[in-house]
Chain A
């Protein structure tokens, strides 16, 4: 990379993200928009593009698309419209795609995410966000050697988000896409599933002159990378392409604009076509669809009703509750987990007895959610949502722990019982399982006397000032109580007996 710096160039990456909007129906017909269904079971003459059929815009897509646009800081356009993009492909029933070219739904925008360990922000400008229909899918055909087409996905509503080339490497691209995915899932506009194709990514990779060093050879080399369909693929493909392009800088080849696909198995990019041979899409306005007209008041209302963003929420956790940045990010990654954590924290703050401040409650909740709950919940998949252990039950359990009515060990036992029976009541479980902490001084004093009698040498050393032995003796007492005696009380009583 040193040679690049010398050449005055830096890598520059822009992304195009396609996200399938969560709607009941497809973009231009009444078919259900489903990700998983028997091949060609969610199709009709319209999404099959049969002769005579016409698209009719499904206004249900406006709310999720506009919410996402607003959350990305885009200016939602009061008038947008659809265009036809022409290319022949077997999964495209009309051999043109209905998309938005000249007048997209949203223009401009910025989505900034924290970079690594709370350093400076990674600021990525949004060029545009627009609506378009998805294509179908090629599938194994009924006849060997023939390819079949499944049109369930054809006409499903997509938003395409196009960024400015503000990213500089694969790691940044990956982190940014994951944060974008988190936002979309949080808003409920996309399910965020890379596996099922709900989220797909293309990247434009190239080099630009560093500021103040214009005109460097190699600026202008660009590759459009297709098929980056997982966060890992995004990172590896972008880095691979940056390295590949950097080797060509200075050569004539560097000026060639290529479209390449990421071959995950071979871990390299493969040439699809060079720019000169790229298709002419012959865009023109879709004559079958009127303009999409939005009232400013409606747009303002959507903006006012946007929930707190995941990034703002994490900032609040850090600043108001004192959560570590890494913990806040881990809790915020999955919206279901974040919501669950918030629910536990607020229920715990309201538990009677010594929880302490809301911040203390939140930190206790965070500790338990990050360790016990997350491990178990991820084990069964974040679906099912809600968590198998209801937030209120965990809060109740942590309330008992904070009030020192049970030990940490006992609390884990109660949690086990709750997983088996989420309906159970934690205080009742504690009672039934006999896990209640023993705070009766007389019982504890009896155990302490027995332990001192059994370990006279250690007791004498403790009395002569070897305070480290207090832990040893207390451990013996706790063992006698089967872990149920209150540790502070045990220590107090041991001290009193020894010093007597």
Chain B
């Protein structure tokens, strides 16, 4: 029979513990043991924390004698729980390789703000979650650690780039995972693995300690077993951070508990002809809208908020920023320098050697494209036009939100795709993000919740998008919807096997 910790949300775990069941500390200990045994099946973690370190640094984690260490001060809201941390987030003394060969062996000397805040909330860390190199990918196949497998079907991808975290949560090997979402990198893996994926408003959660991919789009996101768990983590990590000048001073409203105080006006964003869903996904979306209608009342269609050109806009802007952000990886201060770079060569030759050997093919492709679009003579036709398109998109969303409180739309056009199936076609890979990039470009909060399974038995989902700073409402609405789908109870799910 399945262990309770594999299935329970953090909220239910606390309730069970209160009724005399095992404590979160004990459950986390068992989870760490299981991760050690099972991780190789999925490759969800690229590095697991030594148990001794968890005991030393995770206040309350059970020691060898089974007794918890005395914590200092009152236990935080996440005391006893532990999460997976995406490999692009800094944890002091831990590998922060971003899935890149170039950074293998690099240990971060400091904690990201979100990590520091989780520690303060009593939360521990199980290990480093695998990812597409520097967040560049939608399948977790572009990693120096090899591909991550989908716990629903090992021949399929878990989605990317936060696929390791999504797989860990789906396999029951983490209570939740910290990920990052630049164009859909939390929502797409959540969709593929049947878990909740939450991306906040840009500026809501500190990026300090998140290795930058595209700075104006990057957000720290949460992969969780339930909307409630995501809200719990969100409350612990959100808010202004003096180390990140782009965090907002807008107060973090508590997530409402219980039924909404008023009827939400929900707008439906239907895929256009160029964005057709796979048949099973289309059927599921129609069915999901029916269920959403029961929760939200009558919904109205909102037109032309997403466009196939958005992926192109995202590609230009994100790649331009990526080329800039990744310039620092030259092997001179940290990271793999490689033997070929030693021995009296010039700096230029060393940099070329390090980057040629250290970066994978997708990263190189994006750096080259990003360099191109900012180059003299090309910028006006590419980067500047993309910026203008982004401004128009933001305005269009603002106009849309004058007529409704939330938008509902698909997360992806189909369930998780087979490993290797899109590697040869970058454009198809980029188009995987067509439903997630609009919220990223507009900096809007979005949450993906699982709704059902496709004809291959792989999860499908819907995505809710809200106006800036509407996280509390968004999460409350997602929770109401989640209660109708009861996806967590599905017998086929990896956490129930």
Binding site for B on A (CB under 8 A): 45, 48-57, 84, 86, 88-90, 93-96, 145, 149, 280, 282-284, 287-290
Contact = CB atoms under 8 A, between A and B. Distances in A.
Given A52-B90, A284-B383, A88 B348 contact: yes
Given A54-B243, A282-B323, 6 more contacts: A51-B211, A52-B89, A52-B211, A54-B245, A95-B330, A284-B320
Given A52-B96, A52-B209, A289 B245 contact: yes
Contacts of B244: 54, 56, 288
Given A49-B333, A88-B348, A289-B245, A54 B208 contact: yes
A146 to B, nearest CB: 8
Given A96-B324, A282-B371, A145 B344 contact: yes
Contacts of B215: 287-288
A56 B327 contact: no
A287 B333 CA distance: 24
Given A284-B374, A284-B383, A288-B215, A54 B207 contact: yes
B327 A86 contact: yes
Contact of A45 (B110, B344, B348): B110
Contacts, number: 101
B245 A149 contact: no
Contacts of A289: 245-246
Contacts of B211: 51-52
Contacts of A145: 344
Interface of B: 88-90, 96, 98, 103, 106, 108-110, 112, 207-212, 215-216, 242-246, 320-321, 323-324, 327-328, 330, 332-334, 344, 347-348, 351, 371, 374-376, 379, 383
Contacts of A51: 88, 90, 96, 98, 103, 106, 108, 211-212, 328
A280 B378 CA distance: 12
Contacts of A283: 374
Contacts of A50: 108-110, 333-334
A45 B109 contact: yes
Contacts of B332: 90, 149
Contacts of A290: 245-246
A54 B347 CA distance: 25
A88 B210 contact: no
B208 A287 contact: no
A288 B330 contact: no
A57 B376 CA distance: 28
A383 B208 CA distance: 42
A55 B379 CA distance: 25
A55 B245 contact: yes
A52 B321 CA distance: 14
Residue of B320, B328, B332, B371 ringed by the most chain A CB atoms within 10 A: B328
A282 B375 contact: yes
Contacts of B321: 284, 287
Contact of B327 (A52, A94, A284): A94
A251 B209 CA distance: 56
A89 B348 CA distance: 8
Contacts of B212: 51-52, 54, 288
Nearest to B211: A51
9 contacts: A50-B109, A51-B88, A51-B96, A51-B103, A51-B212, A53-B209, A90-B347, A284-B321, A287-B215
